[in-house]
């Protein structure tokens, strides 16, 4: 009879422990796994980070910011042209995965900015004589950007992307 009481007592303790500790643990774990708000929060955070990366990309490929940052004395205009274009393309390619997290309009705006900047660099470089220096190209680009509305295109794209990001907040 004593063995039966000991076994019953141990069984009661095991049932109590399982009921109060183990079952609630697995229920909360299952609830977190299926909780859409947790998934939504993670997705929202990823999307916000992607928009942040795009804002940084826009700033880095904006010609008024890019030219002073990468200007190298001693290059010919053609070498500088290729150097600027390579920098724009590298920055863009480094951030290409962000398109997964942002809306199509924002991604297309950034892609169009990249293409417009490359076209502008090529256009200005073709205006220079064969013996022009990289400094000549940078000066002419800067003058062009100050006079032309394309010099502020990056600001418009940045505002549009920022607007989309703020919708998530």
Q: Are residues 128 and 140 in contact, defined by beta-carbon separation less than 8 angstroms? A: yes
Q: Kindly compute the dihedral angle of the four CA atoms of residues 22, 24, 26, 32, in this order, to the nearest 10 degrees.
A: -150
d(CA 161, CA 50): 10
Residues 6+ apart with CB under 8 A from 117: 61, 62, 63, 66, 88
Per residue in 20-44, pLDDT (tens digit) is: 665 566 666 666 565 656 678 899 9
Quick: pLDDT tens for 80-126: 999 999 999 999 999 999 999 999 999 999 999 999 999 999 999 99
Q: Per-residue pLDDT averaged across 64-70, rounded?
A: 94
pTM for the structure as a whole: 0.76
Tokens at 29, concatenated: 């774990």
The torsion angle over the Cα atoms of residues 33, 35, 40 and 41, rounded to 10 degrees, is -80
Q: Are 102 and 164 in contact (CB under 8 A)?
A: yes
* Neighbouring residues of 87: CB distance < 8 A, sequence distance ≥ 6: 61, 66, 70
């Amino acid at each position: 009879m004593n063995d039966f009481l000991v076994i019953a007592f141990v069984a009661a303790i095991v049932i109590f422990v399982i009921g109060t500790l183990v079952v609630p643990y697995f229920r909360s774990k299952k609830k977190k796994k299926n909780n859409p708000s947790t998934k939504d929060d993670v997705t929202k955070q990823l999307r916000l980070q992607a928009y942040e990366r795009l804002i940084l990309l826009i700033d880095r490929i904006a010609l008024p910011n890019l030219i002073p940052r990468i200007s190298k004395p001693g290059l010919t205009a053609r070498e500088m042209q290729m150097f600027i274009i390579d920098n724009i393309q590298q920055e863009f390619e480094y951030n290409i995965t962000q398109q997964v997290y942002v809306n199509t309009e924002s991604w297309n705006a950034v892609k169009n900015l990249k293409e417009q900047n490359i076209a502008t660099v090529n256009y200005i470089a073709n205006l220079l004589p064969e013996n022009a220096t990289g400094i000549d190209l940078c000066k002419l680009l800067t003058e062009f950007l100050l006079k032309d509305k394309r010099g502020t295109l990056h600001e418009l794209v940045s505002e549009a992307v920022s607007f989309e990001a703020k919708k998530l907040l």
